[in-house]
Amino acid sequence: MEPNIRARQELERLEVVAGNGLLNRRAFLRGGAAFAAAVTGYTVAGSAAAEPLKDDPWSLEMGAVTPPLQTPSRFEKHVVRTLSNPNNELRNSHARTPHHLLNGTITPNSMHFSINHSGLPDIDPAKHRLVIHGMVRQPLVFTVESLLRYPMESRMAFVECSGNSAPMFSNQPVQATAQALHGLVSCSEWTGVRLSTLLDEAGIDPKAKWVIAEGADSLALHRSVPMKKALDDAMVGLYQNGERLMPGNGYPMRLLLPGYQGNMNVKFLRRLKLTEGPAMSYYEGKIYSQLLPDGKAYRFHFLQEVKSFITHPSFGLKMNGPGYYEISGIAYSGNGRISRVMVSADGGKTWAQAALQEPVHSKAFARFRAPWRWNGGPAVLQSRAWDEAGNAQPTRAEFVAVRGETKKPVTNLLSFPNQHYNSITSWGIASDGEIKHVYA
Amino acid sequence: MEPNIRARQELERLEVVAGNGLLNRRAFLRGGAAFAAAVTGYTVAGSAAAEPLKDDPWSLEMGAVTPPLQTPSRFEKHVVRTLSNPNNELRNSHARTPHHLLNGTITPNSMHFSINHSGLPDIDPAKHRLVIHGMVRQPLVFTVESLLRYPMESRMAFVECSGNSAPMFSNQPVQATAQALHGLVSCSEWTGVRLSTLLDEAGIDPKAKWVIAEGADSLALHRSVPMKKALDDAMVGLYQNGERLMPGNGYPMRLLLPGYQGNMNVKFLRRLKLTEGPAMSYYEGKIYSQLLPDGKAYRFHFLQEVKSFITHPSFGLKMNGPGYYEISGIAYSGNGRISRVMVSADGGKTWAQAALQEPVHSKAFARFRAPWRWNGGPAVLQSRAWDEAGNAQPTRAEFVAVRGETKKPVTNLLSFPNQHYNSITSWGIASDGEIKHVYA
C-alpha cells in the first residue's frame, strides 16, 4: 500500500482531544508512528524526490583531534548565553540560557544562567573559608577540603532569578525569544553538604530564627534565610552536573535553597551568621522587594512559584508548513513536583493534557510534551502547570489583577520592572509559519 | 561543653556495622552530625589555632567578565580527560573521564569519555542524512530537521566502552587512578527519538531480525543490533545533558542502546539496514569478540554487566589522617537498576550496605555512599553491586576463574588485553594515608 494513504488513515484514527489539533498525549505510546508521516523533510529513497546518496567529505578523511575538554560543534555556535555586559563594565552582568535551543531537563554547565553584580571573582579554593558564627554554641571555620569530607548528597534543582520573565510585566507583549523572556532559570544536578549538618556542628541557639548568608565577591551580597528553610533542604553546593561549580555559579561553594529565589542562593558563600531577626539588607529591603499596584510591597517573597513555558515552537523558531509537531516545554515549582501541565492551541479556549517526562523531580525542571497536528491556520499556543501542592499557574488576567503591569511597553529587555512573574506565556502562530509573542 | 568531648561521645554512639570502621549508612539521617567532628581541617573561630579572617583580594575588586559559554575555574584545570592521541596521529583516540575528581551521577559534557577511530568528523547537520532501508516496506531518508519534528524522550543512561577497565585483566594490579582504570564510561541525560518510531515509519518486514547501524565518519564503523533491542529502548540521540551532542559523542546524531556496549551505540549515525542475519562486521567478528581462556570466544557480548567502583578515596587522592570519611562511588548495570551496593574496609572479609542516592535510574549511574571512621591503620576498600535482576558483581576470584588474566603485568594503560571486565576494584590504604591499587 502506498505509504501516504496508510499514513493518512492512521492520522485520522488519532484522537483529537482539544481544539486546533491537540492530540491525545498517549498517541506516543501506540506503536506505528504514522502520525509523523505528515512530517515534511523525509523522502522516500529511490523516489524522484530523493537525492542520490554519496559520501560526504567528512566520510573520506581523518577528522579533528580529541581534546581534553569537549566543546560543541562549530555548527552549534549560535547556542550560547546572551550577555548583558559583554565588556565587563562596572555594573552587574546577566547571562541567559537559550531555552528555545535546548531540550531535556538538564542545563549544560556552559549555559547555566548567571547573574554577578561585581564580575566573576578569582577565588583560590585553598584560601577560601566558610565561617559559621553568631547564635551558635561554637563558631566554626571550614576550608573547602574539610567540607569535602562531609556526607554529600546529590539532587536536581532549578535556580531562578526572581527577576526572570520581568519583560512579561510589559502591557504589550515584547517580541523576544524564550531566552530573552525566561532565560534566568536553569536546572542542574547539585552535589554538596546538607546545611543542617554544618549548623548542627556549630550548635544552634534555640533563639536563632534566621541565618544571614554572605558571599565572598566584592559585592558581598547577603540575604537572610529563615531557619526553617536552613534546616530543611538547604545545601552548601560544591558540584554542578558532576564537576565543581562554574565560576559564574559560585565557585568554590554556594548556598542552594531549592525553590527559593536565586539571589538567596548566595554564591561564593563565605559566612553564615545565625541571628534572631532578619538583616533587612540592601538586597532584601530595597532591591528584591516586589511592589504591588496599591503601593504596598511584599516584605519577603522567597518562593519561586509554579510556572511553565513552551520552548518549541516559540519565537525565533519557524514552522515548516502544516503537519505533525510536538509542543515541548519546561515546568517547575518551588513548592515541589509538577503534577500536571495542560496545553492549549487556541489561546486558552480548550486544553489538552501534556505528557510529563518521568521521573518528575521536586523543585526541578519537568519536561512536558504534547502532540499537535497543525492544520496550517492561525494558532495560539499556551501551557499551564499545576504543582503537587495544588497551586495553579495563574492566567495573565488573574496575574495582572493582583500584580499589575507597566503603563508603557517594555523596550529594554535587560530591565526589571518587577519580579516573580509566573503567569502564562502565549505564542501566536501565523499561517506562514511565523511565530510571535502574544497575550491571550 | 567543650565541643570535642561532646563530639567524641556522639561518635561512640554511632553504630559500627562492619569491620575496620564501617558505619550504619543511616548515620546520615540522624541530625547532629557530630560524627564529622573528627574531621580535621576546621578550626574553632577565636581559638589559638584559628587564623585571623580578612578580606581576600577577590573580595576587594571587580571580578572577570561573564562569557557566552562558561568554563571552569583555573583552579580546576587538572580536572580534564586524559588523552591517548593528543596529536591526532592516524590511529584511534580515547579520552577518559576523571571519575576520582567528579561527584554526583551526571558526567558534564566536556568530560564525557569518547573513543573515535578516525578523529572527529566535521559534520554539517544540514547535509547529514539518516537512511533506513533493507527489509522495510519503504526505505526512508531523514534530515536532522525532520527528525527534530518527531516525538522526543529524555532518559538517563550510561555509555561504557566494552574495553573499559581492561587494565584490570593484569595479573598484577596496575598503579593507576579510577580515570585510567575505569574512565571509558560516563552518564548523561540523552534526548532523542525512539528508534521503534522510525522503524515503524519505514515498516518492518517480519523476516528482519537484525539492524545494521553505520556511522558517517571515515571509519564507517558498523555493528549489528538485534531487532528485539532495536524495538525496545533504543533511541536516535540528538541531545546530551540538554544541548546537542558533542562532536566526540556523535554529533549530529548517534544510536543509543541503553546498557549495551559502547561501540554498538554508533556515532554519526547515517544508516540503518534491516536484515535477516548479523553482518559479522570487522567490528564484531574481530575487534569486539572476547576470547576466553579455553580459546573459545563469545560470538556476541552485547551487555555491559553489573559493576561498581569507589571513586573516593582512591588512587591519586590522599587520606588526611584518621577520622571520618565518606566512601563514595558509582554503580551501574546494563540490565536495569542497581538494587544494592555493599562496601568493605577489610578487603572483603566483612561488608556494610551503602546508601544509594535516590532516585535510582535504570541503566544509568547510581551514586553510592558509605560512612567510614578510619582509625589510621591499614585498610582495603571494596564495593560490590547487585542489580534488580539479581545479578551480582563478581569477586576477582570468580571473575578470573571464568575470564582469565594476563600472564605478565599490564604496563601499557592504553592497551586492551580483553574486554567486559566488571569485577571488584580494591584500594589499599596505608597508615601514612597513601592509597594503592591492590587485589584482594
Instruction: Identify from B141, B233, B249, B311 which residue to disrupt to test chain A contact, counting A C-beta atoms within 10 A and taking the largest count.
Output: B141
Please compute the mean of the pLDDT values over residues A274-298 and round it to a whole number.
Answer: 85
Please compute the mean of the pLDDT values over residues B253-278 and round it to a whole number.
Answer: 97
Mean pLDDT over each residue of chain A, to the nearest integer:
92
Per-residue pLDDT band at A158 (split at 50, 70, 90): very high
Of B68, B103, B121, the CB nearest to A80: B68
CB-based burial label for A281 (10 Å; 0-12, 13-18, 19+): middle
B86 touching chain A per CB within 8 A: yes
Within a domain: residue A148?
Answer: yes
Nearest partner of B434 among B325, B309, B320, judged by Cα? B320
**CATH at B141:** 3.90.420.10
**pLDDT digit string, tens, across residues B405-418:** 999 999 999 999 89
Of B64, B137, B196, the CB nearest to A119: B64
* Cα(B75)–Cα(B383) distance, integer angstroms: 31
The pLDDT of residue A142 is above 70: yes
Within a domain: residue A131?
Answer: yes
Per-residue pLDDT band at B47 (split at 50, 70, 90): low
B92 touching chain A per CB within 8 A: no
Within a domain: residue A125?
Answer: yes
Within a domain: residue B364?
Answer: no
For chain B, what's the residue count? 440
Instruction: For residue A333, list its beta bridge partners.
Output: A336
- DSSP three-state, residue A365: coil
The pLDDT of residue A32 is above 60: no
Per-residue pLDDT band at A46 (split at 50, 70, 90): low
Within a domain: residue B237?
Answer: yes
Question: The C-alpha cell of A264 is what?
Answer: 538567596
**pLDDT digit string, tens, across residues B307-327:** 999 999 999 999 999 999 999
- DSSP three-state, residue A282: helix
DSSP state of A202: H
CA Rg, chain A, in Å?
Answer: 24
**Percent share of chain B, pLDDT over 70:** 91
Please compute the mean of the pLDDT values over residues B107-114 and round it to a whole number.
Answer: 98
pLDDT of residue B15: 83
Please compute the mean of the pLDDT values over residues B337-351 and round it to a whole number.
Answer: 98
The pLDDT of residue B13 is above 70: no
B22 touching chain A per CB within 8 A: no
The pLDDT of residue A132 is above 50: yes
Of B139, B154, B248, the CB nearest to A44: B139
* Cα(B284)–Cα(B301) distance, integer angstroms: 9
pLDDT of residue A139: 94
pLDDT of residue B3: 44
> In B378-396, which positions are buried (b, 16+ CB within 10 angstroms) versus exposed (e)?
ebbbbbbbbbeeebebbeb
CA-CA distances (angstroms) from residue B348 to B165, B175, B379, B440? 20, 20, 11, 7
Nearest partner of A324 among A43, A3, A22, judged by Cα? A22
Are A191 and B103 inside 8 Å of each other by CB? yes
**pLDDT digit string, tens, across residues B172-209:** 999 999 999 999 999 999 999 999 999 999 999 999 99
pLDDT of residue A298: 84
pLDDT of residue B10: 55
DSSP state of B137: S
Question: From B114, which residue of chain A is nearest by alpha-carbon distance?
Answer: A66
Please compute the mean of the pLDDT values over residues B374-383 and round it to a whole number.
Answer: 97
Q: Could you tell me the maximum CA-CA distance found in chain A, to the nearest angstrom?
A: 81
Per-residue pLDDT band at A226 (split at 50, 70, 90): very high
The pLDDT of residue A37 is above 70: no
The pLDDT of residue A50 is above 80: no
Please compute the mean of the pLDDT values over residues A311-327 and round it to a whole number.
Answer: 94
The pLDDT of residue A290 is above 80: no
Q: Which of A3-7, A278-282, B19-23, B76-80 has the lowest mean pLDDT?
A: A3-7
The pLDDT of residue B1 is above 50: no
pLDDT of residue B281: 84
Within a domain: residue A366?
Answer: no
Of A45, A64, A133, the CB nearest to B120: A64
Q: What total of structural domains would you count in chain B?
A: 1
Within a domain: residue B429?
Answer: no
The residue segments making up the domain with residue A246 are 114-172+184-297
Within a domain: residue A418?
Answer: no
**pLDDT digit string, tens, across residues A373-388:** 999 999 999 999 999 9
